[in-house]
């Protein structure tokens, strides 16, 4: 029970983010002529916000399954990098670990990266609840949007900024935790450089790949400050 309460406390920002983006997706789905079950099935099985939002207009234009697969690959390729930090941890968690691998979204990844577990807490259980709660928030948002999105009495445009704010908070907390600032500076330089060079639609994957290579090159100075990872 303590683990569940801890997970609720640490996922409150995600609740608002997912609720709103989920509602936006639900509205889009129903407006495009698809049913409520389709919205919920996407939330349950795909569980990737930006790809779901891209998928609907592609479906209405009758895109082939191959182009859907390719688009998914390019939009979600960043997820490859998320598992790297959790391989050993999730492997030990049995069926819960399998679920956590498949449910590793941007938001869940950042909560798991930044969460400070309280003493005497079953950390694996708490991490599982964090992943599960986020998923439920997302399904709930997609359901509400599909069923009642048009009935909402107020304009919530801009509330999705809460995701940006949350990621920024995580970065600031990491900045405090890490003695070396090289990963932050490398990432910011690569991201801004590729953004200016390639534009907003194409900079993400080259940025992540360049960061990966740069961090391998910078291993010595980074490990000198952070300490070596010995097996």
Partner 1 sequence: MHETLYAVAAIAVVALVTWGLRAAPFLLFGNRPLPKTMRYLGKALPPAIMTVLVIYCLRNTAFDRSPFGIPELAACALVAVLQIVKRNMYLSIIAGTVCYMVLIRVL
Query: Which parts of 162-201 interact with partner 1 (CB under 8 A)?
Result: 162-175, 178, 183-184, 186-188, 190-192, 195, 200
Contact region with partner 1 (CB under 8 A), list: 119-127, 131-139, 145-153, 159-167 = 159-167
Number of C-alpha atoms within 13 angstroms, CB side, residue 97?
Answer: 10
Which residue of 42, 126, 139, 143 would you call a contact of partner 1, by CB under 8 A? 42
Angle separating helix axes 2-31 and 106-114, nearest 10 degrees: 160
Which residue of 87, 148, 152, 224 would you call a contact of partner 1, by CB under 8 A? 87
159 binds partner 1 (CB under 8 A): yes
The three-point CA angle 36-134-160 to 5° equals 75
Count CB atoms within 10 A of the CB of residue 138. Answer: 30
Report the C-alpha gap between 183 and 187 in whole angstroms: 6
Count CB atoms within 10 A of the CB of residue 43. Answer: 28
Cβ 67 to partner 1 shortest distance, Å: 10
Report the C-alpha gap between 82 and 193 in whole angstroms: 22
Write the interaction track for partner 1 spanning residues 109-148; mark x where CB under 8 A is met and - where it is not.
xx--x-----------------------------------
Which residue of 90, 129, 137, 138 would you call a contact of partner 1, by CB under 8 A? 90
């Amino acid at each position: 029970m303590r683990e569940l309460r801890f997970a609720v406390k640490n996922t409150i920002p995600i609740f608002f983010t997912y609720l709103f983006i989920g509602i936006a997706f639900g509205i889009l789905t129903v407006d495009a002529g698809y049913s409520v079950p389709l919205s919920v099935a996407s939330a349950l099985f795909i569980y990737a916000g930006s790809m779901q939002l891209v998928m609907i207009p592609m479906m209405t234009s009758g895109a082939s399954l191959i182009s859907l697969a390719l688009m998914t690959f390019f939009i979600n390729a960043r997820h490859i990098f998320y598992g790297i930090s959790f391989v050993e941890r999730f492997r030990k968690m049995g069926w819960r670990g399998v679920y956590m691998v498949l449910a590793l979204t941007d938001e869940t990844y950042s909560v798991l990266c930044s969460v400070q577990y309280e003493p005497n807490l079953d950390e694996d259980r708490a991490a599982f609840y964090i992943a599960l709660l986020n998923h439920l928030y997302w399904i709930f948002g997609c359901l509400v949007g599909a069923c009642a999105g048009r009935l909402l009495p107020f304009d919530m445009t801009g509330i999705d900024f809460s995701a940006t704010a949350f990621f920024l908070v995580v970065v600031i907390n990491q900045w405090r935790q890490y003695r070396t600032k090289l990963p932050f500076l490398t990432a910011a330089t690569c991201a801004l450089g590729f953004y200016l060079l390639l534009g907003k639609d194409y900079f993400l994957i080259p940025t992540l790949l360049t960061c990966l290579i740069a961090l391998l090159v910078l291993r010595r100075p980074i490990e000198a400050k952070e300490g070596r990872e010995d097996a």
